[in-house]
């Protein structure tokens, strides 16, 4: 009897132990914290809200969204991804992530999610998610540039109430919109161009005009190698446009307030920028009447694309749940709508989005709802030194923009571009990426 009792006790103990262990296993599989790295502080409440719903089907999963300034996040990835200490979900654009994709540090997107992406998204923005036919990221927002134009200033200048459609109109409109003080100093620019800054941003903005002139920054040759492509007619015309706007027409200057800030405070009449400007206008200049339009065309219509995507590191311990959470984000349009509303982030996966709310907040957006058919979207080349190339070209462009002697001096302008292209090619040579045409 006592033996049976003892055996029973042992059995009970074993069962309890197994049950406890199983509970432990179950609870550890669910009890986890997803670290989400974002470059947009307004996304933190959106992620937290999405997690609340996610927890209904995945109890025990918590979220820890962390905001980093973009460049800071790029550097964190440099250390975090190889060492396996990066976030479980990283919001980032393709260019800095490519080297990690090549080194297999980024997890491929599960096939179920790929099907959802293809069903729901704007296909023009898929290439930055792909590498050798495989999706390595889930498209989030696209950040194209639009022409922001101040309606009040257009009215005042007697211009038609629409944005310029061509480069010729851009110059003509700018001339009428620019304002000067009694001593002839520019006090309001016709169009604000990116003329300063240490990073690659100057090149990026110049590149947009270069696309419209029919050019590009780097060309890939049939043998897979690369070479500088901007020291050509398109490059010359783009540089000439900048120099003419600065020194011939004097509709912009290197010393006047620039960029989104200038548009918000009425120091410029036109600006080519991403939709975040609309958010700024809502916050800081809610009464200013302005419009949003597609960029003007020259030989082509177009832009460069640097959409942001969600990446999951291969080394993440919570990889499966991380992908599930991304799936949860993209299959519930309310989160993407919220991201759009709070931060002007235009989703690439547009299916199911209720544009009424968005248009209610940003009525100007109705003019760019439909994606133009002949709009060329160039993407950053997926090569390691592209940031170095763009940053070093930017430094040369900044110097050129300050050089008034370039005006009506095609030889000098071409020299600027040729010397810059030589530097670009030397970087490509150093990395064994250079090829001659």
Partner 1 sequence: MFSSKKKLNSIKFQQYLFCFYVLFPTIVIFAITRFIPIGGTFYLSFYKWDFLSKSFIGFSNFITLFQQDTRFHQALWHTVLFIITSLPLIVLISLMIAILLNRKIRFYSFYEFVYFLPAVVSMVPITFIWKWIYDPDYGLLNFFLSLLGISPKAWLLDPKLALGSIMVIVIWKNIGYYAVIFLVGLKGISRQYYEAAELDGANKQQLFVYITLPLLKPITLFVIVMVTITIFNIFTPVYVMTSGDYNASPVDSVRVLVYDIYQNGFRYYRMGYASAESLLLFIIVFIITLIQLKIAKSE
| Gap between the Cα atoms of 261 and 268, Å rounded | 9
Kindly tell me which of 32 and 256 has the beta carbon lying closer to partner 1. Answer: 256
Question: Could you tell me whether strands 130-131 and 134-135 are parallel, antiparallel, or unpaired per DSSP bridges?
Answer: antiparallel
Pick the binder of partner 1 from 8, 118, 317, 402 (CB under 8 A): 402
What are the Cα distances from residue 375, in Å, to 143, 144, 152, 177, 327? 15, 11, 28, 27, 30
Q: Which of 172, 197, 214, 266: binder of partner 1 (CB under 8 A)? A: 197
**Is residue 254 close enough to count as binding partner 1 by CB under 8 A?**
yes
Q: Examine residue 124 and tell whether it contacts partner 1 (CB under 8 A).
A: no
Tokens of 116: 């959802």
Give the interface size with partner 1 as a residue count (CB under 8 A): 32
Choose one: 22-30, 139-147, 235-243, 386-394; the region binding partner 1 (CB under 8 A). 386-394
CB of 103 to partner 1, least distance (A): 5
Residue of 359, 436, 375, 381 lying closest to 94 (CA atoms): 381
Other Cβ atoms within 10 Å of 245 Cβ, number: 24
In 3D, which of 142, 98, 193 has the Cα closest to residue 394?
193
Q: Which residue has the tokens 């709009």?
A: 375
Q: What is the CA radius of gyration of the chain?
A: 26
The footprint of partner 1 on residues 258-317 (CB under 8 A) is: 258-259, 261-262
Rounded to the nearest whole angstrom, what is the least distance from the CB of residue 191 to partner 1 in the complex? 14
Closest-CA residue to 120 (of 140, 94, 144): 140
User: Which residues in the 128-157 window bind partner 1 by CB under 8 A?
Assistant: none
Q: Are 262 and 268 in contact (CB under 8 A)?
A: yes
Residue choice 122, 130, 353, 395 for contact with partner 1 (CB under 8 A): 395
| Shortest separation between residue 331's beta carbon and partner 1, angstroms | 34
DSSP tag of 178: -
Q: How far is the CB of 97 from partner 1 (least distance, A)?
A: 12
Residue given tokens 């980032």 in the structure block:
92
Strands 226-228 and 218-220: antiparallel
Q: Between 70 and 109, how does the x/- string for binding to partner 1 read (CB under 8 A)?
A: -----x--xx--x----------------xx--x------
Q: Can residue 426 be called a binding residue for partner 1 (CB under 8 A)?
A: yes
Least distance CB 421 / partner 1 (angstroms): 15
The helix or strand, by DSSP H or E, that contains position 12, with its residue range, turns out to be helix 2-30
Residue found under tokens 């410029």: 268
What is the nearest approach in angstroms of partner 1 to the Cβ of residue 234?
24
Provide the binding-site residues for partner 1, judged by CB under 8 A.
75, 78-79, 82, 99-100, 103, 194, 196-199, 201, 254-259, 261-262, 384-385, 387-388, 391-392, 395, 398-399, 402, 426
């Amino acid at each position: 009897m006592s033996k049976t009792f003892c055996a029973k006790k042992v059995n009970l103990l074993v069962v309890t132990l197994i049950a406890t262990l199983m509970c432990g296993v179950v609870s550890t599989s669910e009890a986890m914290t997803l670290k989400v790295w974002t470059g947009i502080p307004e996304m933190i409440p959106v992620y937290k809200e999405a997690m609340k719903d996610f927890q209904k089907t995945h109890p025990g999963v918590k979220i820890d969204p962390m905001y980093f300034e973009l460049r800071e996040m790029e550097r964190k990835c440099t250390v975090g991804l190889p060492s396996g200490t990066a976030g479980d979900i990283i919001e980032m654009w393709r260019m800095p992530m490519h080297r990690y994709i090549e080194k297999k540090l980024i997890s491929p997107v599960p096939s179920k999610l790929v099907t959802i992406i293809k069903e729901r998204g704007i296909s023009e923005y898929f290439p930055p998610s792909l590498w050798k036919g495989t999706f390595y990221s889930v498209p989030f927002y696209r950040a194209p540039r639009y022409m922001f134009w101040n309606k009040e200033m257009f009215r005042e200048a007697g211009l038609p109430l629409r944005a310029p459609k061509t480069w010729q109109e851009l110059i003509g409109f700018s001339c009428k919109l620019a304002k000067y003080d009694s001593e002839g100093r520019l006090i309001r620019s016709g169009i604000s161009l990116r003329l300063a800054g240490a990073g690659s941003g100057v090149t990026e903005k110049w590149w947009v005009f270069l696309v419209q002139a029919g050019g590009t920054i780097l060309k890939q040759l049939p043998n897979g190698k690369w070479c500088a492509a901007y020291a050509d007619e398109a490059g010359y015309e783009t540089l000439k446009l900048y120099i003419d706007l600065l020194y011939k027409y004097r509709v912009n200057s290197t010393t006047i307030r620039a960029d989104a800030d200038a548009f918000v405070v009425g120091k410029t009449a036109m600006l080519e920028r991403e939709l975040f400007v609309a958010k700024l206008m809502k916050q800081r200049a809610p009464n200013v009447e302005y419009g949003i339009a597609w960029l003007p065309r020259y030989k082509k219509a177009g832009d460069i694309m640097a959409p942001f995507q969600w990446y999951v590191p291969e080394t993440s311990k919570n990889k499966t749940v991380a992908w599930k959470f991304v799936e949860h984000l993209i299959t519930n349009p309310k989160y993407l709508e919220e991201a759009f509303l709070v931060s002007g982030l235009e989703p690439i996966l547009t299916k199911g989005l209720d544009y009424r709310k968005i248009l209610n907040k940003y009525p100007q957006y109705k003019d760019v709802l439909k994606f133009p058919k002949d709009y060329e979207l160039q993407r950053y080349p997926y090569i390691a030194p592209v940031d170095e190339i763009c940053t070093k070209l930017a430094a040369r462009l900044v110097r050129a923009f300050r050089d008034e002697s370039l005006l009506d001096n095609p030889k000098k302008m071409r020299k600027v571009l040729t010397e810059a292209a030589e530097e670009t090619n030397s970087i490509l040579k150093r990395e064994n990426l250079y090829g001659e045409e």
